[in-house]
């Protein structure tokens, strides 16, 4: 009898088209995990409400994001791709968790205070305070063994483990405690040298055609010490070299570094080498995503199919939860 695969769960808020930072920070890892794990990946559209109550763009942003997921290689035959709000059991489990979770647990989650400060929020909503608890419901609903996250998200997984222990102690054993599977997120600079972000308008998108990628890479910020072609540079402080570390084979990368230090090559020469390796990596993704983007109805169909599959698991979990909580005669 074949051994069951360990389950993995992760999600993204629907922010529209994904950029290179999103791909390297999460999506590429999700794709690779399909070969070894039972993967559940979801569109966290309820979580989008913690930032913005204008939902007009959310359905379209969901389709754009799914086109990127599918273009990058997520396979609805090998992974369960679903929408959070199409599985209302998440909301019920979140409600039950809210009855047993101390407010102090939520207030100490680092991202809560960070978001209040960064966004200048003077009157935070319960939804913002409670969104890590909704994340716990999202995760525990599927009883995954692993939750792939960057180091900054580990406190959310630890909260989830605490919530599982608290529920099991109060009502009886239902939830196994998941573990964080740390994802090493490479440094992905934007075209201006800052972290790549849609809000900074410095991103290279998975949907960008080749000419757009060239147009963005050619004027990229480099080592500020290289004001002239003859000035030697320091690759370690150059944003372009950060991308070389990801895309350029070692031999060529070392040659570029040496050429930079000795002023043997100029910054445009260095960028040409990067483009030679970056372009083909993105070509296949863009071509696959375009086939899906041209058929948004098919994307919606796939999401509804995946949500029905996810809901079957969620219903089984909630049957156990309701039996444990014993509210109904």
Residue ranges of domains in the chain, CATH in brackets? 7-188+295-325 (3.40.50.620), 208-289 (1.10.240.10)
pLDDT in tens, 269-297: 999 999 999 999 999 999 999 999 999 99
pLDDT band at 312 (very low <50, low <70, confident <90, very high): very high
Q: What is the pTM of this model?
A: 0.95
Does residue 92 carry a pLDDT above 60? Answer: yes
pLDDT in tens, 32-61: 999 999 999 999 999 999 988 999 999 999
Locate all alpha helices (DSSP H) within the chain, ordered by sequence: 20-22, 28-33, 58-72, 89-98, 103-107, 110-119, 126-140, 154-171, 210-217, 239-247, 250-261, 267-293, 296-325
User: Mean pLDDT over residues 290-314, rounded?
Assistant: 98
In this prediction, residue 3 carries a pLDDT of 65
Compute the distance between CA of residue 98 and CA of residue 38 in angstroms, rounded to an integer. 28
Does residue 189 carry a pLDDT above 60? Answer: yes
In this prediction, residue 2 carries a pLDDT of 54
- Residues 47 and 130 sit within 8 Å (Cβ to Cβ): no
In this prediction, residue 306 carries a pLDDT of 98
Does residue 1 carry a pLDDT above 60? Answer: no
Compute the distance between CA of residue 238 and CA of residue 111 in angstroms, rounded to an integer. 29
Does residue 326 carry a pLDDT above 80? Answer: yes
pLDDT in tens, 243-259: 999 999 999 999 999 99
User: Mean pLDDT over residues 89-111, rounded?
Assistant: 96
Q: What is the mean pLDDT of the chain?
A: 95
In this prediction, residue 172 carries a pLDDT of 98
Strand arrangement, sheet containing 38-43? 79-83, 38-43, 7-12, 146-149, 179-182
In this prediction, residue 113 carries a pLDDT of 87
In this prediction, residue 118 carries a pLDDT of 85
Compute the distance between CA of residue 303 and CA of residue 90 in angstroms, rounded to an integer. 16
In this prediction, residue 51 carries a pLDDT of 83
In this prediction, residue 207 carries a pLDDT of 97
Of all residues in the chain, the percent with pLDDT exceeding 70 is 99
pLDDT band at 18 (very low <50, low <70, confident <90, very high): very high
Q: Which of 199, 217, 271 is nearest to 51 (CA)?
A: 199
* 2 vs 259 pLDDT, higher one: 259
CA 306 to chain centre: 18
């Amino acid at each position: 009898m074949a051994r069951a695969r360990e389950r993995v769960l992760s999600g993204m808020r629907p922010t529209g088209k994904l950029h290179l930072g999103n791909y390297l920070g999460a999506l590429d890892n999700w794709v690779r995990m399909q070969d070894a794990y039972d993967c559940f990946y979801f569109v966290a559209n309820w979580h989008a409400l913690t930032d913005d109550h204008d939902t007009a763009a959310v359905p379209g942003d969901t389709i754009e994001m799914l086109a990127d997921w599918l273009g990058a290689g997520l396979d609805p035959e090998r992974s369960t791709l679903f929408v959070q709000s199409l599985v209302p059991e998440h909301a019920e489990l979140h409600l039950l968790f809210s009855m047993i979770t101390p407010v102090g647990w939520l207030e100490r989650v680092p991202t809560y205070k960070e978001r209040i400060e960064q966004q200048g929020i003077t009157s935070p909503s319960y939804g913002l305070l409670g969104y890590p608890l909704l994340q716990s419901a999202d995760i525990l609903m599927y009883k995954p063994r692993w939750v792939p996250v960057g180091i900054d998200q580990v406190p959310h997984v630890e909260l989830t483990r605490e919530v599982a222990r608290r529920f099991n102690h109060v009502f009886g054993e239902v939830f196994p405690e998941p573990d964080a599977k740390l994802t090493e997120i490479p440094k992905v600079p934007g075209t201006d040298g800052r972290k790549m972000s849609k809000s900074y308008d410095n991103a290279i998108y998975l949907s960008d055609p080749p000419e757009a990628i060239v147009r963005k890479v050619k004027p990229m910020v480099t080592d500020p010490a290289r004001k002239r072609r003859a000035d030697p540079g320091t690759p370690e402080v150059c944003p372009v070299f950060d991308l070389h570390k990801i895309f350029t084979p070692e031999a060529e990368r070392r040659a570029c570094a040496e050429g930079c230090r000795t002023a043997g090559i100029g910054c445009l020469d260095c960028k040409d080498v990067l483009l030679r390796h970056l372009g083909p990596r993105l070509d296949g993704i863009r071509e696959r995503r375009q086939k899906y983007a041209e058929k948004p109805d098919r994307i919606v169909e796939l999401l509804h199919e995946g949500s029905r599959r996810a809901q079957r698991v969620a219903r089984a979990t909630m049957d156990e939860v309701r039996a444990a909580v014993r509210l109904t005669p």
